[in-house]
Structure formats: C-alpha cells, structure tokens
C-alpha cells in the first residue's frame, strides 16, 4: 500500500511538471503554419532579443510593444501548437520549430 501511494505521488508530480513545460515559451521558435496567410510575423522567437511573454501578452522586446495575446497552447501528436490572437481578434496557429 505504501508503494502504491508513493507511486501515485510520483505520477502526479511528474504530470504537474509537464504541464508547466507545456506552457513555457522561453527560448523557443514558432513558425506560422496555416494556409490563409500570416496576420502576425511568420516566425516568433521567444528570447531576450526578439519576443517576450508577460502573463498572456506577447511583446517585441526591443520596443516593448504589444503584438498579440496567447490564446492556447496544445499538444498535437507530440508537437506543441501555439494559438495567438492578434490585436484585431483574429487567431492564428504557430507550430514549434
């Protein structure tokens, strides 16, 4: 019984950690992957030089200007997909590179 409880605690802690990993955008590159044309930049690079995320808002680092809002991040067949809402309310899909 004690081993079962330890096993369950381990599984729960690993699943919580992977959820944080799923939402982390630090040091990642994303490419626009829809057919209807990009409404934001074709490529989003989240690092110290280009883009940053504060709460759910995406900013250009060098200008600190808002370019969009993170709508959702999902895993599709093991690949993360980022859905970004632009300032007009349109949602575009980005695939992690």
Identify the pLDDT of residue 81: 92
* Beta strand residue intervals within 1-97, DSSP E: 28-32, 43-46, 51-54, 57-60, 65-76, 79-85, 91-96
Residue 17 has pLDDT above 50, yes or no: no
| Alpha carbon distance 30, 80 (integer Å) | 9
Among 87, 68, 63, 86, which residue's Cα sits nearest to residue 25? 68
Q: What tokens does 67 get?
A: 């370019």
Would the pTM count as exceeding 0.85?
A: no
């Amino acid at each position: 019984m004690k081993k079962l409880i330890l096993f369950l605690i381990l599984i729960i802690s690993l699943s919580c950690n992977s959820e944080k990993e799923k939402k982390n955008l630090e040091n990642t590159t994303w490419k626009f992957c829809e057919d209807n044309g990009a409404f934001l930049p074709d490529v989003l690079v989240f690092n110290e030089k280009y883009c940053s995320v504060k709460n759910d808002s995406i900013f250009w680092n060098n200008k600190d200007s808002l370019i969009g809002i993170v709508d959702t991040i999902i895993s599709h067949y093991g690949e993360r997909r980022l859905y970004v809402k632009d300032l007009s309310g349109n949602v575009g899909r980005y695939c992690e590179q």
